Amino acid sequence: MIKLFVTDLDGCISHPFKTPDWEAINAIRDLNLKSKNPGAVPHLTLCTGRPFPYAEAVAQWLDIRLPFIFESAGLYHWDGNRIVTALPEDEGALDMINTMRDWLRHEVLPDYPGVIIEFTKMMDAGVVCMDHGIIDEIHGRVLERVQGMDPVPEVHATDISVNILLPGNDKLQGVKLLSEALDIRLDEMAYIGDSSGDVPAMKQVKMAFAPKNARQIAKDNAEVIDQEATRAVLEAYQKIIRFNSES
């Protein structure tokens, strides 16, 4: 029985920098509303690498009232307006991330005028750009930069972003925080994602999906839905409901 359906945001709930598919989003929201009654429809939540304000806004679109994940491994509770992480409590826990953010700002961004640092991020260093080719270039530069670092940070790229994370502070950690907060095992979860950053979580849950627009590494670790973004999330949700009904 799948009790929780976890979806990534960019590339899944919506295409970044494009008007959302409101018809499909409303259908996903309607299913999530049905999850409040006992039955085959699992609850819905988010696990995204994007900052808290964006994740919180989308959670409101979808009437998500369960905790959700932002910046890959930050857990937000509506109850009490609380944020929970797995970061060490010492003051230097984010020194590596701050160093990489400074490097991006001063050494990389001057070469790419259309690229911006992801504002309001707390736990990782990320850049965003609409040009996929530039993102690939920056991804390569970041991979070169982190070689030899101890410990080596995790680096993940989507079509519009590059994200640098503390080792292990990734979306697998995010779904583990959800598991603990909601008392739902990983083998009672389904997940849909579209990039390398989603793969650690996809490998550990019961059911993993990827939309047609996903990067190949995500497709290699999931059932591929022959729809893009929002429509793929809706179809995956419906597949999960059928699975639960037949179980």
**Among candidate residues 147, 165, 183, the one where a domain is terminated:** 165
Q: Is residue 161 within 8 Å of residue 126, measured between CB atoms? A: yes
**DSSP 3-state assignment of 155?**
strand
The secondary structure of 48-73, three-state, reads CCCCHHHHHHHHHHCCCCCCEEECCC
**Among candidate residues 165, 199, 226, the one where a domain is terminated:** 165
Give the mean model confidence (pLDDT) for residues 215-242: 98
Which of 89-98, 179-188, 214-223 comes out lowest in average pLDDT?
89-98
CA distance 121 to 232: 28
Q: How far is CA 58 from CA 22, 46, 51, 77, 198, in A?
A: 12, 9, 11, 15, 18
- pLDDT class of 14 with cuts at 50, 70, 90: very high
Q: Does residue 89 register a pLDDT over 90?
A: no
Instruction: Report CA Rg, the chain.
Output: 17
Do 190 and 227 share a domain, yes or no? Answer: yes
Do 210 and 145 share a domain, yes or no? Answer: no
Do 181 and 78 share a domain, yes or no? Answer: yes
CA distance 116 to 224: 31
pLDDT (0 to 100) of residue 247: 85
CA 194 to chain CA mean position, Å: 9
pLDDT (0 to 100) of residue 91: 81
E strands present in the chain: 4-7, 43-46, 68-70, 74-77, 82-84, 116-117, 125-128, 154-157, 161-165, 189-192, 207-210, 223-224
Do 145 and 241 share a domain, yes or no? Answer: no
Do 75 and 175 share a domain, yes or no? Answer: yes
Q: Is the four-CA dihedral 25, 226, 203, 141 of positive or negative sign?
A: negative
Domain that holds residue 194: 4-86+169-246
Phi and psi for 189 in degrees, rounded to 5? Answer: -120, 155
Do 179 and 136 share a domain, yes or no? Answer: no
Do 17 and 74 share a domain, yes or no? Answer: yes
**What strand order describes the sheet that includes 125-128?**
116-117, 125-128, 161-165, 154-157
Token pair listed for 67: 């905790």
**Among candidate residues 131, 165, 199, the one where a domain is terminated:** 165
Do 122 and 189 share a domain, yes or no? Answer: no
Do 239 and 147 share a domain, yes or no? Answer: no
Do 222 and 116 share a domain, yes or no? Answer: no
pTM across the whole model: 0.96
Token pair listed for 84: 């929970």
Do 77 and 175 share a domain, yes or no? Answer: yes
- pLDDT class of 90 with cuts at 50, 70, 90: confident
Total domains present in the chain: 2
What pLDDT, in 10s, does the model give residues 31-60? 999 999 999 999 999 999 999 999 999 999
Do 21 and 67 share a domain, yes or no? Answer: yes
pLDDT (0 to 100) of residue 237: 98
Phi and psi for 76 in degrees, rounded to 5? Answer: -105, 130
Q: Is residue 87 within 8 Å of residue 93, measured between CB atoms? A: yes
